[in-house]
Structure 1
Amino acid sequence: MKDYIIKDEWNIIEEGFDPALNKISESLFSLGNGRMGQRGNFEETYSGETLQGNYIAGVYYPDKTRVGWWKNGYPEYFAKVLNAANWIGIDVQVDGETLDLHTSTVKNFKRVLNMKEGFLQRSFVATLVSGKQIAVEATRFCSISNDEVGLIKYAVTPINFSGTITFKPFIDGDIANQDSNYDEKFWDEVSREVLADSAYITLRTKKTAFEVCTGSKFALVQNGKLINVQAQQINKEKFVGHSFDIAVIANEETILYKYAANVSSQNYAKDKLVALCKEVVEEVFAQGFDKMLAQQKEAWAHKWSESDIVIEGDVAAQQAIRFNIFQLNQTYTGEDARLNIGPKGFTGEKYGGSTYWDTEAYCVPFYLSTADAQVARNLLFYRYQQLGKAIENAEKLGFINGAALFPMVTINGEECHNEWEITFEEIHRNGAIAYAIYNYTRYTGDATYVKEYGLEVLIGIARFWAQRVNWSADKLQYVILGVTGPNEYENNINNNWYTNYIASWCLQYALESIDAVKSGDPDSFDKLAKRLQFNESTEKEKWSHIVDHMYYPEDKHLGIYLQQDGYMDKEQVLVRDLPASQRPINQKWSWDRILRSCFIKQADVLQGIYFFEDKFDQEAIRRNFDFYEARTVHESSLSPCVHAILAAKLGYEEKAYEMYLRTSRLDLDDYNNDTEDGLHITSMAGTWMSVVQGFAGMRVHDGQLHFNPFIPGKWKSFSFNINFRGALLSVEIKKEYVRIINRSGVDVSIVILKNGYVLKGNDIVEIHVREEEVVRH
């Protein structure tokens, strides 16, 4: 665990430069706008340890899967979101000596990620080997108002000399992924062009043939005046730019502005990319840095008005929640249904940057509440568009009749995860897809999605489960064998409770959805049934039989649901008895030792209880939480938030707060020693859930919002906004009262501390907790 980021409500601040922390900071100071983004790399040369990363959403490469031996149905490739052309580069030389913080003496180093206004600022004083000192202040952002552009303001001031500074703004297309097999590079050059003050390069991905044109234009200002420079053009394979010398005087500032764009064949015809890139670059150049920054601030003000959480009395908690919300909003805007949310977003290459079940289980609730319903609907539609591929994935494993197995990892619908115990066995992911449809419908009240798209997905998923179970003559029940549950520290086990439970639930939900659509629009249902060759009587009868006869492992003596058959055969050691020197166990132990241990990577049984808490009484939840939390090492970023929410429900306030800090500051404090690979974007939605569903106790029951709040001991209050069925609600929770303001004209039914109210449009309800008094405005 690291603790070097300065606590601040609106900023991520690093003071002092420690090369050993640089890759962590590169992740923390990442920028994005939903369409493009890059890690917090330096603009100038840095010869120390770094992970250079620039990324374009949706652009990927099918890298050949490397395995020792092949298996039937095994994915042929691992889809990697590619490190794209480096557009931020600005080499700086002082009288021929390269500015490099790895070889220079650095003081007054400061990095600030301004989350409120959406830009990154970095400043330092560097003493070069020659003894010459320069001060640098760099500001950059990825525009939210124009998601194809990024801008840089790079200011240099010589301190103890007058002389010549050489600037080399460039675009480097000769880049590689750190995780590429055999050190292969994934881009081929299509074209390049260098003009007097601008440069353009078009690259094409191998195999997938995506094309991206990256362009930039520069301007130079000294003493507030625009300087015309005669730049030498740099035009070589996969590399374009300019080089020019500028006479500088001690203590006088020189500013280089760089305007850049990435234009992709995902959105435009390939033969138009260069011309369009030039148009975009010229447009942003004409607007100028200051105007574009003003637009950036305005756009972020709008985003924060929808999604901010305000915490009084706890700066560390406030900084953390805003950092998580900021990164979520940088990663996904919901404007393009072809895109999804990679576990690392635009902050690193690990996990391929592809789609996991994280989106449905963790991200959908965040976007449901903080954005227009269309954003969450687009996330669901993303999966619908890939249903055909999900059916193909199932067919490769021997399933028939339109059974659908959605992939564990994908970018185009094909399974591309390359570990057999996950690819073949972590099939609970199918349940998360179905649950997201249910969650969307329950929250929005929009039943049209199920009729138009969702039912077809639910039938495909139900057909999969109906074939994946088998009848146990010994138990006289259905069992599911050879699976991996959410706890990936268990592989190839039988009857994972969570998998069995969500499989049965999927079948029941499909049955209910069939009846609802059939009764509401029989013609639509008949057309769908005919197209899917759905045998209503036979298939429904089989599904109902499975629901009624599913086996769920239990330990009746302990009163808990067993994570899987045989779990109690393991030596039962608690996490509190595990020496700190042995953690994280995934970095300290052999895989054999992990698999034989009772330790749990992330919420498993508790994941199911979180999803379906209405099905369990409070004491059952308590018994299972007490048992499993004590054995959970939380070495998945997805784990702490579920525990925080359930702890809050149980009244375990200290544990809820502990888990909130762990999930919210997971990356800021590098809890699991892996932030340098990139941020845990999808689990950041769990941080929001920890506050809204945990501390505020927000749930949806029977079309009503319910709140059952408490305030962590360090907090004075917390507040947030919620979009719910056309109403915008501002919720403020203090120890003395709960106040909810309806900022729309839509009436909404709410329940606060088990008491129901109709909150009319533009009205306020205030519940004085201690006096149990209701004040209406």
Structure 2
Amino acid sequence: MQRTFEIDPWKIVTHKLDKANKRLQESMTSIGNGYMGMRGMFEEDYSADTHSGIYIGGVWFPDKTVVGWWKNGYPKYFGKVINAVNFDKVNVWLNDQKLDLATTPIKDFELSLDMKTGILTRQFTVDNQETQVRFTIQRFVSVAQKQLFDVSYQVENLGSQPVTIRIVSEINADVSNEDANYDEKFWNVKTKAQTTDSGYLIAETKPNDFGTPQFTVGTQMTHQTDLKAVQTAETEKNVVNTFEGTLANQESSQFEKRVIVVTSRDYDDDATLKAGMEVLSQKVAAQTHQQLVTEQSVEWAKRWAKADVQISGDDAAQQGIRFNLFQLFSTFYGEDKRLNIGPKGFTGEKYGGATYWDTEGFALPLYLSLADQKVSENLLEYRHNQLAGAFHNAREQGLKGALYPMVTFNGIENHNEWEITFEEIHRNGTIAYAIYNYTRYTGDETYLKTKGIDVLTAISRFWADRVHWSKRKGVYMIHGVTGPNEYENNVNNNWYTNLLAQWTLKYTLESLKKVSDKKIADLAISKEEEAQWQDIIHKMYLPEDKKLGIFVQNDCFLDKDLQPVTSIPKDQLPINQHWSWDKILRSPYIKQADVLQGIWYFIDKFPEDVKKRNFDFYEPLTVHESSLSACVHAILAADLRYEQKAVEMYERTARLDLDNYNNDTVDGLHITSMTGSWLAIVQGFAGMRVSGDQLSFKPFLPKKWTAYQFRINFRGRLIEVRVDTTGTKINLLKGQPLKVQLNQEVVALKGGD
């Protein structure tokens, strides 16, 4: 655990420029608006270690898959997010000395991300014999106007002598990536132009060999300042504007840079892209800086009014949940159904910036409760729109039906590790589970009966072809898989994978009874096929140990040397940074919930004693080195009323990045797992469940807290739940009356109850 920022309920703030952990600070202070985002790097050049990164939603590059030993079925390319044209760049000279916070002496440093408004502020005073100059720098990506980035400088001369100042503002296409192909560059400048105080640059991703689209990005900068614009020479990959002036004692100067960013995802050609960029630039030119800031604050206030979770008695817990919600909504708020939620969002390049199963498994439940229903439907449609790619992925394995990708931008599998790409097929079950989860929560079967059934049928056909019949045992099995616990590869009969295969077939057959005869005909489902699915359902092998009373993670798991995590020396944790992969695979240690993941999905289907035995067996073996692990354990621990463990797991998931639990936040935040803190409170501490049409709660209050409060959308209602030392209060804030179950008692909610 490494805490580098101060505890504050609404801010991520530090008063130390931590040069040893600069990248960590940059990850923590990332900002975004769903359309684009950036790490918290400085605008000015920084000569010490840093990772400057700007990313735009849906803009990526396919790179040739390179492996030492090619296997049939490998994807021909893997996709990766690319570092965008740098439109944030600003450099400053004081008395002809370039500002570089790696070397320039400063004092009174503060770095603060205001989560109420999404505004990042940096303050410091340059402090040397010649100058005493105070800087206040603010930047934001607008949630009111998605294509707008804004950065402003206030510079004040605190010294006794005049100070000359020169500010050089750039759009720079000479950028490179760090992840995958280190230092590789992806942008070719198509056209650019500049005046003395503005400029634009249009760049295109370099050609690729796989027929996927190239992307064009246009950036246009304008400036508002009391400094004088001076002529600046053009360079090959930059447009540059320079501004100069002199500050007398106690005199200050203002400088603001506005950038409009547009892409070929929204425009047909360069001409319309350039015209669109100019229209947007003119629109924001009519607004003052304060109006832009106010817009930003108002829009974030609307989001918080729906989604804020309030915790009393524990500021660290409060900061954690708000930080996670802020970063989630900075990454995705559902406006563009072509986009999904990358595991690192706009905060880094690791994992390629693509879509994982995390969205359906962990993000969808949060967005169902905190956003308009259409947002969750868009997430489901994203997968329906990529069904052709899922068919392609299955064919690559010589199988029928559809296999959804582990990693993708376009529906085609983009991952190149065999044990994950072609063995971690449990993701197919979670795609199906998401349709069930959406339908159950909303009560709306429209999507299920029209598009969802296409997906369910295609996935079911994959499972029916992927299983095999064991003549010796008289059951269906699935061999050669990797479960959610990636610390075991190429295992046979992973309980979670087999469970989801069985459940998907059953849910599909139940759903087919609800669709029209025409849809059945279109799907070409025969009675023989239905009978085959029914046979698999009845005879699927789900490994368990009767003596221990547990479900067995996979064949042979119980033959391992079962020692608890407490037996590992602390200096060898996390094991993925200290042990060989061979040693990890032979160990009994679990990266993330596997059996417990399946129990969480169907938490009300298992008796309490079954949940207890499985939790008590598997949790002590779990190292939680996946960001997706702690929240599942928090929910199940809360369900079993293991309060201390539930709170411990909540704190881990809520502050995973803030406290750098797994020593891996330097390369970006764990965006999709940030849903875990909300899930731990709402499904865990508050015990929220939906069974049939019944919404229920079974809350408890952690001893460290004095109260917690949250709001959820549910079937056209807005409901507020408050749990404190006096009990639980549930208010219906909006919508028709509703009956809910509170601690097994049915309560009728009316407006103001």
Match of 2:445, as an amino acid? A
Q: Does 1:262 align with 2:267?
A: no
How many angstroms apart in 1 are the aligned matches of 2:174 and 2:127?
30
Residue deviations 1:22-64, cap 9 Å, x none? 1011111011001011111111121111111101100000022
Is the CA contact (8 Å cut-off) linking 2:425 and 2:497 kept in structure 1? Answer: yes
- Counterparts of 1:278-293 in structure 2, within 5 Å, are 278-293=278-293
Is the CA contact (8 Å cut-off) linking 1:55 and 1:346 kept in structure 2? Answer: yes
How many angstroms apart in 1 are the aligned matches of 2:150 and 2:466?
52
Residue deviations 1:628-655, cap 9 Å, x none? 1000000000000000000000000010
Name the residue aligned to 2:97. Answer: 97
Name the residue aligned to 1:464. Answer: 462
Match of 1:261, as an amino acid? I
Name the residue aligned to 1:411. Answer: 409
How many angstroms apart in 1 are the aligned matches of 2:141 and 2:184?
28
Secondary structure at the aligned position of 1:230 is classed as: strand
Using the TM superposition, give the Cα deviation of residue 451 of structure 1 relative to its aligned residue in structure 2, in angstroms: 1.1
How many angstroms apart in 2 are the aligned matches of 1:133 and 1:468?
70
Is the CA contact (8 Å cut-off) linking 1:138 and 1:154 kept in structure 2? Answer: yes
Name the residue aligned to 2:154. Answer: 155
2:520 to 501, 517, 525: 525
Structure 2 regions of 5+ residues with no counterpart? none
Name the residue aligned to 1:770. Answer: none
- Counterparts of 1:376-455 in structure 2, within 5 Å, are 376-400=376-400, 403-455=401-453
Name the residue aligned to 2:350. Answer: 350
Structure 1 regions of 5+ residues with no counterpart? 222-226, 765-777
Using the TM superposition, give the Cα deviation of residue 272 of structure 1 relative to its aligned residue in structure 2, in angstroms: 1.4
How many angstroms apart in 1 are the aligned matches of 2:473 and 2:603?
27
Is the CA contact (8 Å cut-off) linking 1:478 and 1:550 kept in structure 2? Answer: yes
Match of 1:606, as an amino acid? L
Name the residue aligned to 2:225. Answer: 220
Name the residue aligned to 1:138. Answer: 137
Name the residue aligned to 1:11. Answer: 11
Residue deviations 1:125-151, cap 9 Å, x none? 2336x7533221101111011011011
Match of 1:763, as an amino acid? G
Q: Does 1:600 align with 2:590?
A: yes
Is the CA contact (8 Å cut-off) linking 2:198 and 2:221 kept in structure 1? Answer: yes
How many angstroms apart in 2 are the aligned matches of 1:535 and 1:522?
11
Is the CA contact (8 Å cut-off) linking 1:200 and 1:274 kept in structure 2? Answer: no
Using the TM superposition, give the Cα deviation of residue 70 of structure 1 relative to its aligned residue in structure 2, in angstroms: 0.9
- Counterparts of 1:157-236 in structure 2, within 5 Å, are 157-160=156-159, 161-181=161-181, 183-206=183-206, 207=208, 208-221=213-226, 227=227, 229-236=228-235
Name the residue aligned to 2:729. Answer: 739
Q: Does 1:579 align with 2:569?
A: yes
Using the TM superposition, give the Cα deviation of residue 558 of structure 1 relative to its aligned residue in structure 2, in angstroms: 1.0
Using the TM superposition, give the Cα deviation of residue 182 of structure 1 relative to its aligned residue in structure 2, in angstroms: 6.3
Using the TM superposition, give the Cα deviation of residue 180 of structure 1 relative to its aligned residue in structure 2, in angstroms: 4.2
Name the residue aligned to 1:547. Answer: 537
1:611 to 601, 604, 613: 601
Secondary structure at the aligned position of 1:311 is classed as: strand
Name the residue aligned to 1:224. Answer: none
Using the TM superposition, give the Cα deviation of residue 113 of structure 1 relative to its aligned residue in structure 2, in angstroms: 0.7
How many angstroms apart in 1 are the aligned matches of 2:462 and 2:411?
16
Q: Does 1:64 align with 2:69?
A: no
How many angstroms apart in 1 are the aligned matches of 2:408 and 2:339?
11
Is the CA contact (8 Å cut-off) linking 2:260 and 2:277 kept in structure 1? Answer: yes
* Stretch deviating more after TM superposition (612-621 or 594-603): 612-621
Is the CA contact (8 Å cut-off) linking 1:234 and 1:243 kept in structure 2? Answer: no
Match of 1:74, as an amino acid? Y
- Counterparts of 1:356-755 in structure 2, within 5 Å, are 356-400=356-400, 403-517=401-515, 521-526=516-521, 528-529=522-523, 534-755=524-745
The alignment's C-alpha RMSD in Å is 1.2
Match of 2:215, as an amino acid? F
- Identical aligned pairs, as a percentage? 50
Match of 1:268, as an amino acid? Y
Secondary structure at the aligned position of 1:201 is classed as: strand
Secondary structure at the aligned position of 1:691 is classed as: helix
How many angstroms apart in 2 are the aligned matches of 1:310 and 1:421?
41
Match of 1:43, as an amino acid? E
TM-score, L = length of structure 1: 0.95
Seen in structure 2, the aligned counterparts of structure 1 residues 201 and 180 have a Cα distance that, compared at 3 Å, is farther
Seen in structure 2, the aligned counterparts of structure 1 residues 418 and 131 have a Cα distance that, compared at 3 Å, is farther
How many angstroms apart in 1 are the aligned matches of 2:188 and 2:517?
53
Name the residue aligned to 1:763. Answer: 752
How many angstroms apart in 1 are the aligned matches of 2:519 and 2:532?
23
Using the TM superposition, give the Cα deviation of residue 282 of structure 1 relative to its aligned residue in structure 2, in angstroms: 2.5
Using the TM superposition, give the Cα deviation of residue 16 of structure 1 relative to its aligned residue in structure 2, in angstroms: 1.1
Match of 2:409, as an amino acid? I
How many angstroms apart in 1 are the aligned matches of 2:419 and 2:720?
45
Match of 2:68, as an amino acid? G
How many angstroms apart in 1 are the aligned matches of 2:178 and 2:724?
48
Match of 2:162, as an amino acid? S
Using the TM superposition, give the Cα deviation of residue 759 of structure 1 relative to its aligned residue in structure 2, in angstroms: 1.4
Aligned length: 746
How many angstroms apart in 2 are the aligned matches of 1:505 and 1:327?
33
Seen in structure 2, the aligned counterparts of structure 1 residues 205 and 734 have a Cα distance that, compared at 3 Å, is same
Secondary structure at the aligned position of 1:655 is classed as: helix
TM-score, L = length of structure 2: 0.98
